[in-house]
A and B are shown apart, each in its own frame.
Chain A
């Protein structure tokens, strides 16, 4: 147990504890519960930050209960994990529910989401990953149904069915890994993988794990819940699910790729899935009928980009994945904030720029960034991604060409909306935004602009995080000292 141990345990334990305490606290007033929840989330941001500054290139490792790896349960915190603990908490803070959004139930579920998500990125063994994945899943099913409107229940139930089936796949995959390697500790599996998991069993396990985690990570073809849920769930939930939770599943896939599955067949499998995801997402968005679905499909395509980035060898791929994921985590929630007010068919958006100039301007900024127009952060993310792809050559160059073509489609559907917004209103005018409606999106827009100005230091920091996340040898050495 090192001094860094608390920063690994607390981001999971505190929100989990808080989630179960909140219903009790709420008896003394809803405001108190809300305040406690916010405090816990802020503490998580702080813990993420502390972990980030503490770990540097050497990751922090904690064996819970004093049982050392590979027998005990291990938490592994590197900068990648710290980053996503903090991003998840920031997302939860920005989109923290209010009393009218379900009150203490929503607070509890959100805290549960934060606890499970933090656990997901910090866990050092497969079975804990499964457990935390399920916590995240249950919390998100509950949140998805919490809109109280009619579409919510159906979407949530269909989401649940798919998600539970996906979890079963994950469980089978874990079982296969265990059957082959005889351990569930990621570092131990990493050590044994070249010997035990390089065959058909390993590949089958990878397939099942990718499809299982792919439900949350919005990978084709197990992402059919996405448009339904994002159109029906409350905006705050959609923003967190699309912005952050989907990336957490990607982090798990990243760990699996770095540590366990180096098989070229596995890589090409993921690449094929990623390409189909990108194409299906962007093209479906082109024909989407309203903003919410447009952004849902666009979110699918962006997650496809992350998956594609993960297949690119070495640090470049992981850096690209982190960059695309982070950029999307900033942009897409802001988009959903705008879509929450501008519901209904796209044709009804005419005149939006006159009614809500700030929202319209923000929309253009976000659209430019997600398309990847320099000097906005989205451009640099795409530059790293495509640069890595062209460096790798071969099938990656083909994938890059697909991404470039999909970008044009992306611009087509986003700027079709922009053109619509700037047209004079025909019939009913689009909704007006109160400042409090738009403020989360404005905050994210400011973050985007600040990130544009500080893109060089951010790039350096992320490169460091990517380099340490890509270092499988150091992972094994940290978790299993003396076993290399």
Chain B
């Protein structure tokens, strides 16, 4: 590998970290700043991609080849295969979780008629014993206040 190519590869490796952090940041921004649950889920997908990229970046070596043994040659430097295996697993798990989330999202939309997480939270904070409100209407949680009776000195 030529020194120039090595340098490019090294910068590429650093760029991987930058990209990962950028992806995570965008994802977290979407999750925190947006109230639409669909966007929150998209943000989650971005965060997961970012994390996966981060893991891949950990295993990256600028001078190394892909960790595949070709023709019995084992003494070439290879990138660390373990993070790649991890990422493979993580992607699979992430897909599963996102699929489940999407399924729940549909049910949420059907049930509450909204995807606004604030509305959902209001519904959840409401008294369970109150008559379940019609879909889409939120009930503000006003729990019954009570304190231990103070009594008095007399």
Which residues, 32 to 61 on B, are CB-close (under 8 Å) to A?
Answer: 37, 40-41, 44, 47-48, 51-52, 54-55, 58
Task: Please tell me if the beta carbons of A416 and B146 are within 8 angstroms of each other in the complex.
Answer: yes
The answer to whether A168 and B83 touch across the interface, beta carbons within 8 angstroms, is no
Is the Cβ of B143 less than 8 Å from the Cβ of A164?
A: no
Q: Indicate whether A343 sits within 8 Å of B129 (C-beta atoms), given known contacts A151-B124, A416-B148.
A: yes
On whether the beta carbons of A161 and B48 are closer than 8 Å, the reply is no
Interface residues on B, range: 35 or more
Known contacts A150-B123, A157-B37, A158-B120: A175-B108 contact under CB 8 Å: no
In the complex, the chain B residue whose C-beta lies closest to that of A144 is: B104
B73 at the interface (CB under 8 A from A): no
Q: B77 on the interface (CB 8 Å rule)?
A: no
A164 touches B108 (CB 8 A): no
Q: Mark B120-133, 1 if CB is under 8 A from A, else 0.
A: 11011101110010
Select the stretch in A244-252, A286-294, A329-337 that faces chain B. Answer: A286-294
A343 surroundings in chain B (CB, below 8 A): 128-129
Complex: chain B residue closest to A133, CB-CB: B93
Stretch touching chain B among A134-142, A269-277, A442-450: A134-142
Shortest distance between the CB of A136 and any CB in chain B (Å): 12
Tell me the bound Cα distance from A160 to B146 in angstroms. Answer: 33
Q: Which of B44, B90, B105 contacts A165 (CB 8 A)?
A: B44
Of all chain B residues, which has the CB nearest A348?
A: B129
Whether A344 sits at the interface, judged by CB under 8 Å, is yes
Chain A residue nearest to B85 (CB atoms) is A127
Q: How many A-B residue pairs have CB under 8 A?
A: 132
Any A CB within 8 A of the CB of B100:
yes
In the complex, chain A residues whose CB is within 8 Å of the CB of B58: 175, 178-179
Shortest distance between the CB of B32 and any CB in chain A (Å): 10
| Contact A292 B107, CB 8 Å, known A141-B100, A161-B44, A179-B58 | no
In the complex, A287 Cα to B114 Cα: how many Å?
29
Contact B40 A161 (CB under 8 A): yes
Q: Does A61 contact B (CB under 8 A)?
A: no
Q: Closest approach, in angstroms, between the C-beta of B114 and any C-beta of chain A?
A: 10
Q: Which partner residue on chain B sits nearest A175 by CB separation?
A: B55
Q: Is B100 a contact partner of A134 (Cβ separation < 8 A)?
A: no
Q: A151-B128, A288-B143 are in contact. Are A171 and B55 (CB under 8 A)?
A: yes
Q: Kindly supply a per-residue 1/0 record for chain B positions 63-87, scoring 1 wherever the CB is within 8 Å of any chain A CB and 0 otherwise.
A: 0000000000000000000110010
Tally chain A residues at the interface, Cβ within 8 Å: 47
Q: Which of B100, B124, B145 contacts A154 (CB 8 A)?
A: B124
Contacting residues, chain B, for A141 (C-beta < 8 A): 97, 100, 104
How far apart are the CA atoms of A231 and B124 in the complex, in Å? 8
List the A side residues contacting B124 at CB < 8 Å: 151, 154-155, 158, 228, 231-232
A462 to B48, CA, bound (A): 39
> Given A154-B108, A157-B105, A287-B145, is A292 in contact with B128 using a C-beta cutoff of 8 Å?
yes
Instruction: Let me know if B107 and A153 touch, CB within 8 A.
Output: yes
Task: From the candidates B54, B82, B107, B144, name the one contacting A184 in the complex (CB within 8 A).
Answer: B82
User: Does residue A346 face the partner (Cβ distance < 8 Å to B)?
Assistant: yes
Distance between B142 CB and nearest chain A CB, rounded to angstroms: 8
Q: A residues within 8 A CB of B37?
A: 157, 161
| A345: Cβ under 8 A from any B Cβ | yes
From B24, B55, B132, residue with most partner A Cβ within 10 Å: B55
Contacts of B41 on A, CB cut-off 8 Å? 161
Complex alpha-carbon distance, A292 and B94, angstroms: 31
Contacts of A164 in B (CB 8 A): 44, 48, 94, 97-98, 101
Q: Do B104 and A156 touch across chains, with their CB atoms under 8 A apart?
A: yes
B143 touching A127 by the CB < 8 A rule? Answer: no
**Are the CB atoms of A153 and B40 closer together than 8 Å?**
no
- Complex alpha-carbon distance, A161 and B41, angstroms: 7
Q: CA–CA, A164 to B104, complex, Å? A: 14
* Interface pairs (8), CB distance under 8 Å: A149-B132, A151-B124, A154-B108, A154-B112, A155-B124, A161-B41, A168-B44, A344-B129
B residues bordering A, Cβ < 8 Å? 24, 28, 31, 37, 40-41, 44, 47-48, 51-52, 54-55, 58, 82-83, 86, 89-90, 93-94, 96-98, 100-101, 104-105, 107-108, 111-112, 117, 120-121, 123-125, 127-129, 132, 135, 141, 143-146, 148
**New A-B contacts (7) at CB < 8 Å, excluding given A150-B111, A150-B123:** A138-B97, A145-B104, A164-B101, A172-B54, A231-B128, A344-B127, A345-B127
> Which A residues form the contact surface with B (CB < 8 A)?
127, 130-131, 134, 137-138, 141-142, 145, 149-151, 153-158, 160-161, 164-165, 167-168, 171-172, 174-175, 178-179, 184, 228, 231-232, 287-290, 292, 343-348, 412, 416
